A and B are shown apart, each in its own frame.
Chain A
Amino acid sequence: MAIATASALHSENVNVWFGERHVLKDVSLTFPSNQVTALIGPSGCGKSTFLRTLNRMHELIPGAGFGGRVLLDGDDIYGDGVDPVDVRIKIGMVFQKPNPFPTMTIRDNVLSGLKLSGRKTSDADDLVETSLRRASIWTEVKDRLGDPALSLSGGQQQRLCIARSLAMDPEVLLMDEPCSALDPGSTRRIEETIVELSESMTIVIVTHNMQQAQRVADQTAFFLATDGNPGHVVEFGATEDIFERPRDSRTNDYVNGHFG
């Protein structure tokens, strides 16, 4: 199976409104190819919202507004004539809550992206195995591919969702607190998967878990929203700098558990 090359993602002055409320202001971040970037910050600071602007899932929320640019290898995904469907094929997403399709088997879930985007594959079995292997769940499910996806445990379901995204061979993978509903064992396995996957794609992960950010991320962005003001990036840099030598006192307070 050909693996697509990873692409760099770049946001320029991203602004978000819900109705008249300005919730995210001037977020400019660079996500270099093959790197893992963690977005951290207290609840309600806009990091999940920002993540959703990166593959145009944001615009599905009623009342959503957007300003700025998001560049995938230099091309604006919000440019004229760009189909959001094509953007989402290149930029995959894993949600906070595992959401395998309930009416499909494990195997069909892995292949669902192809069917849903109207594409065909020459070797479905190979794609199923490769995707499940890359999400490190193959050995657990190889003998029960015909079982309903909901028969899996929560951690397995989340890795199945990752496999489902991988089958689309995305250039970028967005993960919205993928481990927040999982036990420590499943969390560790998904973190290992993230590190392996970064060899072939660019990864952006939202997390509330400081240790997780330190374990998986090359760089980290700290978001903060104060007293009705829109959220913004307080500090962005290499993960060890953010956690060990933060320049901003608020970053220091947050990563050391003084608030949030």
Chain B
Amino acid sequence: MSTIDLTPVARPANAEPWKRKDRSMVVAAGLAATVPALITALVTAALGWDPSVTVMAIFLPLQLVAAGIVGVRAYGKRGIAEASLIVVTLLLTALVAALLLSVLWSVISAGAQTLSWTFLSQNNVYISPTTSLEYGGVGHSIIGTVLIVGLTTIVTVPFGIAIAVYLTETRGKARGAIRILIQAMSGLPSVVAGLFVYSALIASGITQYAGWAGSLALLPLMLPTVARIAEEALRLVPAEYRNGALALGAPAYRAFLQVTLPAAKTGIITAVLLGIARIIGETAPLLLTTFAANNTSFNLFSGSMSSLPTYLYQYISNGNDTSTQRAWGAALVVLILVGILFTVARVFGRAKKATSKSLTKANNARKAN
């Protein structure tokens, strides 16, 4: 019997046979991807038509036909269906991406000129709609937004998680009713929440405009988001883990706190984040409950308070050029706040991996014996 040579051999260049391509197909695909766009561009330039018209009337049919031809060459009849699916999917994706990017771009391009340290740190006292951008800013609104949204978050998150726990971990009889209620709540128009708090607390004379009234008005808007996403997160934890804990003699509350909750941690952080994102830009409820203010206020419990959305509203409704610029600036600051929040949560929410540190610790513990 001959010996088998087991020395490893260097990977050959053609180790991916599934990626082999017929040269003529590559050329055809390249033509199909470029020719329709070129023709559309030429027609648009030559006739001076609106690009949105030529894209719909010339580019789309041409691209479908071109992709269809290549598809039929490659796969026969089914190539037509595959090619159309690819073209339509890509087009719709591009449409959504274009919408999203244009919103982002318009806020960033218009807001960037306004952004400065002064704008971020100063408040609105002694500032009129025509005051130049060298003076005044959204410092007081950032503080207001952080305080009002912070208070709402602190109050809402425990409630939201408690509802999610009731819906997933118990066999309570009211689960169906609560689930319907939460769904109905998520359709509540924000202005109605604001009006309710306004009429119940402010019009009735219980309190003046105050930050906490704003937090209260935001609560029913944030609660359904947190509860529903946290419910999903808890539902995704396999029952085997909870059963494993219960079989070890764990009371239900410990099984939840030490096994189910840690396993759902990332999902619950997402729930809180999306809840915050849901309310951070709300304007109507805050106009009705905290109103707007020019001075910096740290007091959530009395006096009107500024927030980024109400500041934006204050200036965008003015119509003056510098006012509009300030409004764009405020919009950009809201976006940046949300961006910071998401980044921080992603970093903290990442699943914990065993670090070399914890390894060494365990090893040392072993050696000590």
The answer to whether A and B belong to the same complex is yes
Interface residues of A (CB under 8 A from B): 55, 57, 60, 62, 85-86, 88-89, 92-93, 95, 97, 99-103, 105, 107, 112-113, 115-118, 125-126, 129, 142-148, 151, 161, 164-165, 168
Judged by a CB distance under 8 angstroms, whether B174 is at the interface is no
The reply to whether A105 and B247 contact each other, CB–CB distance below 8 Å, is no
The reply to whether B241 and A99 contact each other, CB–CB distance below 8 Å, is yes
B259 (CB) vs chain A CBs: closest residue: A101
The reply to whether A125 and B366 contact each other, CB–CB distance below 8 Å, is yes
The reply to whether B245 and A112 contact each other, CB–CB distance below 8 Å, is yes
Main secondary structure of the interface of B (DSSP, over half): helix
Given known A97-B240, A146-B362, contact A116–B245 (CB-CB < 8 A)? yes
A-B contact pairs, 26 of them (CB 8 A): A57-B247, A85-B251, A88-B248, A92-B247, A95-B244, A99-B238, A101-B241, A103-B352, A105-B362, A113-B248, A113-B250, A115-B258, A116-B245, A117-B250, A125-B369, A142-B366, A144-B359, A145-B363, A146-B354, A146-B361, A146-B362, A147-B354, A147-B359, A148-B354, A161-B244, A164-B244
Kindly list chain A residues whose C-beta atoms are within 8 Å of the C-beta of B258: 112, 115-116
Task: Give the complex CA separation of A147 and B365 in angstroms.
Answer: 14
Judged by a CB distance under 8 angstroms, whether B353 is at the interface is yes
Judged by a CB distance under 8 angstroms, whether B9 is at the interface is no
Kindly list chain A residues whose C-beta atoms are within 8 Å of the C-beta of B250: 85, 113, 116-117
Task: Give the complex CA separation of A101 and B238 in angstroms.
Answer: 11
Kindly list chain A residues whose C-beta atoms are within 8 Å of the C-beta of B249: 85-86, 88-89, 113, 116-117, 168
Kindly list chain B residues whose C-beta atoms are within 8 Å of the C-beta of A85: 249-251
Docked complex: B74-104 residues within 8 A CB-CB of A = none
Kindly list chain A residues whose C-beta atoms are within 8 Å of the C-beta of B202: none
Partner of B359, one of A57, A146, A165: A146
Tell me how far the C-beta of A132 lies from the nearest C-beta in chain B, rounded to whole angstroms.
Answer: 11
Kindly list chain A residues whose C-beta atoms are within 8 Å of the C-beta of B247: 55, 57, 88, 92-93, 95, 165
Q: Provide the B233-274 mask, 1 if CB < 8 A to any CB of A, else 0.
A: 000001011011111111100110011001101000000000
4 additional contacts, CB 8 Å, given A147-B354, A164-B248? A57-B246, A93-B247, A144-B359, A148-B353
Docked complex: B334-369 residues within 8 A CB-CB of A = 352-354, 358-363, 365-366, 368-369
Partner of A129, one of B240, B359, B369: B369
Task: Give the complex CA separation of A145 and B363 in angstroms.
Answer: 7
Kindly list chain A residues whose C-beta atoms are within 8 Å of the C-beta of B368: 125
A118 (CB) vs chain B CBs: closest residue: B254
Tell me how far the C-beta of A153 lies from the nearest C-beta in chain B, rounded to whole angstroms.
Answer: 16
Tell me how far the C-beta of B3 lies from the nearest C-beta in chain A, rounded to whole angstroms.
Answer: 28
Tell me how far the C-beta of B179 lies from the nearest C-beta in chain A, rounded to whole angstroms.
Answer: 17
A124 (CB) vs chain B CBs: closest residue: B365
Task: Give the complex CA separation of A115 and B248 in angstroms.
Answer: 10
The reply to whether A62 and B171 contact each other, CB–CB distance below 8 Å, is yes
Kindly list chain B residues whose C-beta atoms are within 8 Å of the C-beta of A129: 366, 369
Kindly list chain B residues whose C-beta atoms are within 8 Å of the C-beta of A105: 354, 358, 362
Task: Give the complex CA separation of A165 and B245 in angstroms.
Answer: 10
Kindly list chain A residues whose C-beta atoms are within 8 Å of the C-beta of B354: 105, 146-148, 151
Kindly list chain A residues whose C-beta atoms are within 8 Å of the C-beta of B360: 146
Task: Give the complex CA separation of A256 and B326 in angstroms.
Answer: 85
Kindly list chain B residues whose C-beta atoms are within 8 Å of the C-beta of A161: 244
Kindly list chain B residues whose C-beta atoms are within 8 Å of the C-beta of A89: 248-249
Task: Give the complex CA separation of A88 and B359 in angstroms.
Answer: 32
Kindly list chain B residues whose C-beta atoms are within 8 Å of the C-beta of A116: 245, 248-250, 254-255, 258-259
Kindly list chain B residues whose C-beta atoms are within 8 Å of the C-beta of A151: 354
Kindly list chain B residues whose C-beta atoms are within 8 Å of the C-beta of A99: 238, 240-241, 243-244
Task: Give the complex CA separation of A97 and B245 in angstroms.
Answer: 14
Tell me how far the C-beta of A144 lies from the nearest C-beta in chain B, rounded to whole angstroms.
Answer: 7
| Residue among A62, A92, A101, A115 with most chain B CB within 10 A | A101
B237 (CB) vs chain A CBs: closest residue: A102
Q: Provide the B207-221 mask, 1 if CB < 8 A to any CB of A, else 0.
A: 000000000000000
Task: Give the complex CA separation of A89 and B243 in angstroms.
Answer: 13
| Residue among A62, A86, A143 with most chain B CB within 10 A | A143
The reply to whether B263 and A103 contact each other, CB–CB distance below 8 Å, is yes
Tell me how far the C-beta of A124 lies from the nearest C-beta in chain B, rounded to whole angstroms.
Answer: 8
A116 (CB) vs chain B CBs: closest residue: B250
Kindly list chain B residues whose C-beta atoms are within 8 Å of the C-beta of A97: 240
Task: Give the complex CA separation of A234 and B272 in angstroms.
Answer: 55
Q: Which 6 residue pairs across A and B have the least CB separation, nearest first?
A: A89-B249, A116-B250, A146-B362, A145-B362, A113-B248, A103-B262
Task: Give the complex CA separation of A86 and B246 in angstroms.
Answer: 11
Kindly list chain B residues whose C-beta atoms are within 8 Å of the C-beta of A165: 247-248
The reply to whether A60 and B246 contact each other, CB–CB distance below 8 Å, is yes
